[in-house]
Amino acid sequence: MPIQSIEPRRLYRQIADQLRALIKAGEFPVGTRLPTERDLAAKLGVSRPSVREALIALEVEGLVEVRGGSGIYVLAREAAPTARRVDEAAFGPFEIIRARQVIECETAAIAARTMNAAQVRGLREAVVLMEEDIARGEMPIRGDRLFHTRIAEAADNAPLLRVVSDLFDERNNPLFERIGQHFESGPSWRIAVAEHKAVIAAIAAHDPRRARLAMQTHLQRSHDRFAAAWPQVQTEAEAAR
């Protein structure tokens, strides 16, 4: 069963379906390594981020395992009955970030025009929550969510706030959770905090253009962190050697 080209408009789900079918058919036997993301993207005719989302979906299902610095290995031909399932409607992490870029760059610009001193203090308080969680070795999601929703609140538009909140909460879907396990860490979150502070500085200066650019930079770098090379990690077996 040869790999078939996928049209660029297709989403990660179709890529995962084809790879799943190839694994089930034995084209990629259990224990073997899949082609690299670059090779899969070229053969399938899609972007590397789309391939990464598909591989993350297969990892959630227990079909493959990501071994940093080594590759993606096939664990099973079919998902176990107890394996987590990725909802057919689940958005991919990269498309979520792209949607957030469209909306939140403009909410940052609005906030720069409308936020008062007390509201800016609220943004700084959200960042302090992030720093406290990072210091405890915890994911700073509560402060991060508060930061982004408080900026959206400045638009005084309930539907817009709902969209920003719902997009942020997509971080709770299994794809986003798993990719975060690979690419989010204390150091990466500290970088994100610095990006948040740049947004606050622009809003406090009442500079919409600068605020828009700061938010664009933050979300683009978030995207790029998820698209970076796989971190160097060890499996339990490798660590025991």
Delineate the domains of the chain, giving CATH numbers in brackets.
12-88 (1.10.10.10), 93-226 (1.20.120.530)
Count helices and strands in the chain by DSSP H and E runs: 11, 2
Query: Is the distance from CB of 215 to CB of 206 less than 8 angstroms?
Result: no
What are 204's two structure tokens?
């406090």
How far CA 80 is from CA of 18, 60, 77, 179, in Å, comes to: 18, 11, 9, 21
Distance CA 183, CA 241 (A): 25
Asked if residue 2 lies in contact with residue 35, where contact means CB atoms within 8 angstroms, the answer is no
In degrees, rounded to 5, the angle at the alpha carbon of residue 114 between the alpha carbons of residues 112 and 119 is 85
Tokens (6 digits) for 217: 């930079």
pLDDT at 241: 41
Helix (H) or strand (E) holding 67: strand 64-67
pLDDT in tens, the chain (241 residues): 567 665 544 568 899 999 999 999 999 999 999 999 999 999 988 999 999 999 999 999 999 998 877 899 999 998 877 778 777 778 899 999 999 999 999 999 999 999 999 999 999 999 999 999 999 999 999 999 999 999 999 999 999 999 999 999 999 999 999 999 999 999 999 999 999 999 999 999 999 999 999 999 999 999 999 998 887 644 444 444 4
Beta-carbon contacts of 40 under 8 Å, excluding residues fewer than 6 positions away, are 3, 15, 19, 34, 51
What's the 3-state SS for 87-142? CCCCCCHHHHHHHHHHHHHHHHHHHHHHCCHHHHHHHHHHHHHHHHHHHCCCCCHH
Given this model, what pLDDT does residue 118 score?
Answer: 97
Compute the distance between CA of residue 108 and CA of residue 61 in angstroms, rounded to an integer: 37
CB 73 within 8 A of CB 65: yes
Residues 6+ apart with CB under 8 A from 71: 33, 34, 36
